[in-house]
């Protein structure tokens, strides 16, 4: 196979694995941290917003 094609495939695989790990870390529940997730679709495209906030104890 062509070395350029192999390099491209390796870069894609590493990027996908990194994204999976990143999303896994964000979605894991942690004590005292609240995760807000929002996904919107409109005429211009889509928006994915993930926000982590520390829970305030009263």
Query: Concatenated DSSP letters for 19-47?
Result: HHHHHHHHHS-BTTEEEEEEEEEETTEEE
> Which comes out higher in pLDDT, residue 4 or 34?
4
How far is Cα of residue 31 from the mean position of the Cα atoms in its chain? 20
The whole-number average pLDDT for the span 42-52 is 76
- Report the predicted TM-score, pTM, of the whole model to 2 decimal places: 0.47
Pairing of strands 45-54, 33-42: antiparallel
Cα–Cα distance measured from residue 49 to residue 54, given in angstroms and rounded to the nearest whole number: 17
Domain ranges of the chain: 3-54
User: What per-residue confidence (pLDDT) applies to 10?
Assistant: 94
pLDDT digits 0-9 by tens, 5-46:
999 999 999 999 998 888 887 777 667 666 677 778 878 787
């Amino acid at each position: 196979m062509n070395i350029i094609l192999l390099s491209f495939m390796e870069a894609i695989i590493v990027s996908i694995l990194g994204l999976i790990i990143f999303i896994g870390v964000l979605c894991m529940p942690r004590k005292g941290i609240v995760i807000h997730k929002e996904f919107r679709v409109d005429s211009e495209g889509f928006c994915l917003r993930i926000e982590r906030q520390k829970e305030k104890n009263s």
